[in-house]
């Protein structure tokens, strides 16, 4: 296992360098002169030259790329062009509010989806299965923005159960602030996750070992819990682990509409204001988290099924 993990880590190094090089090309070359976007169309040539010198964009491309790698290693992306705050402090300050929303929403969604997925797979073809599948399809057909607007109008404005907008630190104020966004997150994600877990379980129910266990007289609940669920863990782990890196990034729309000062809200503000430094840092962070999630998925594959090997 240790050898496998080390080989997976080594195999991700070229991918990490490829991501950094691609991000550098997109932000420094393909996107045009960033100094012009920051300075505005009415800026003087002296102001544009000052911004280029301030950010090091008047240096050669190899030197700029080296400086970019140094920013990644030291986690120091300079200062925001809009808020004039250190980008590192903005990111670290937004992780807490983001996790207060995403962690409970993630665990609730995963737990409920696995339970419902097992339930409908157990009653495959019956009315319970059909009703849940139809409900999942309908839920997936509704965009998140519709859930947000309905939740804010009906549950927050009309009924007054939750705040429409705003975020407060401390308990129980913080829990109260994220309650409605968490509910919306669960409602939006539940349809896809239930269908995914249902499919993963049903694929195992058609295997020979399941028919053998039934032929030996094992009770159906025991077949599902002891055999089917265990062998369905590989695709379930894939879906769960891939979603974990997204927790730190938060939910962009939810944080923006509910005024939660998390990573998602910071990214939306940076997009609206063309905040170059913040966008670059968020792009790198998101890419690295996804690579980390994929690597963890492969490692957990081996833990669940030792027959999996690195090829």
Which domains does the chain possess?
2-74 (no CATH), 95-274 (1.10.3720.10)
Say yes or no to pLDDT of 46 above 60: yes
Banded pLDDT at 73 (limits 50, 70, 90): confident
More confident position, 152 or 304: 152
Sign of CA dihedral 8, 10, 15, 19: positive
Q: What is the pLDDT of residue 309?
A: 58
Q: What is the pLDDT of residue 222?
A: 76
The DSSP secondary structure of 208-271, one letter per residue, reads HHHHHHHHTT--HHHIIIIIIHHHTHHHHHHHHHHHHHHHHH--HHHHHHHT--SHHHHHHHHH
Q: Please name the helix (run of DSSP H) or strand (run of DSSP E) that holds residue 9, with its range, or none.
A: helix 2-25
Q: What is the pLDDT of residue 33?
A: 67
For range 73-102, the mean pLDDT: 84
19-54 as b/e, with b when 16 or more CB fall inside 10 Å?
bbeebbeebbeeeeebbeebbeeeeeeeebeebbee
For range 290-301, the mean pLDDT: 77
pLDDT, tens digit, 9 for 90 and up, residues 160-180: 888 888 777 767 777 778 888
Q: What is the pLDDT of residue 261?
A: 83
More confident position, 286 or 43: 286
Look at 77-86, 203-212, 280-289 and tell me which has the smallest mean pLDDT: 203-212
């Amino acid at each position: 296992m240790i050898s496998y993990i080390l080989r997976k880590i080594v195999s991700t190094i070229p991918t990490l360098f490829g991501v950094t090089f691609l991000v550098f090309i997109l932000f420094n070359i393909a996107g045009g002169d960033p100094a012009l976007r920051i300075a505005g169309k009415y800026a003087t040539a002296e102001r544009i030259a000052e911004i280029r010198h301030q950010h090091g964009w008047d240096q050669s491309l190899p030197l700029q790329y080296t400086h970019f790698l140094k920013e990644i290693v030291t986690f120091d992306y300079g200062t925001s062009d809009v808020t004039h705050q250190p980008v590192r402090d903005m990111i670290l300050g937004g992780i807490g509010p983001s996790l207060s929303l995403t962690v409970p929403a993630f665990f609730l969604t995963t737990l409920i989806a696995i339970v419902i997925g097992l339930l409908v797979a157990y009653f495959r073809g019956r009315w319970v299965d059909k009703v849940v599948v139809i409900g999942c399809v309908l839920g997936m057909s509704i965009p998140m923005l519709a859930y947000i607007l309905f939740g804010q109008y009906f549950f927050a404005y009309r009924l007054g159960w939750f705040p429409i907008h705003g975020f407060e630190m401390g308990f129980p104020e913080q829990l109260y602030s994220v309650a409605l966004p968490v509910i919306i997150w669960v409602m939006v994600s539940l349809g896809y996750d239930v269908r995914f877990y249902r499919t993963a379980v049903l694929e195992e129910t058609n295997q020979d070992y399941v028919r053998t266990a039934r032929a030996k007289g094992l009770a159906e609940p025991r077949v599902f819990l002891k055999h089917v669920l265990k062998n369905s863990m590989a695709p379930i782990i894939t879906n769960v682990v891939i979603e974990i890196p997204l927790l730190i990034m938060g939910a962009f729309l939810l944080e923006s509409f509910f005024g939660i000062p998390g990573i998602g809200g910071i990214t939306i503000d940076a997009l609206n204001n063309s905040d170059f430094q913040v966008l670059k840092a968020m792009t790198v962070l998101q890419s690295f988290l996804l690579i980390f999630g994929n690597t963890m998925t492969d490692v957990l594959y081996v833990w669940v099924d030792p027959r999996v090997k690195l090829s």
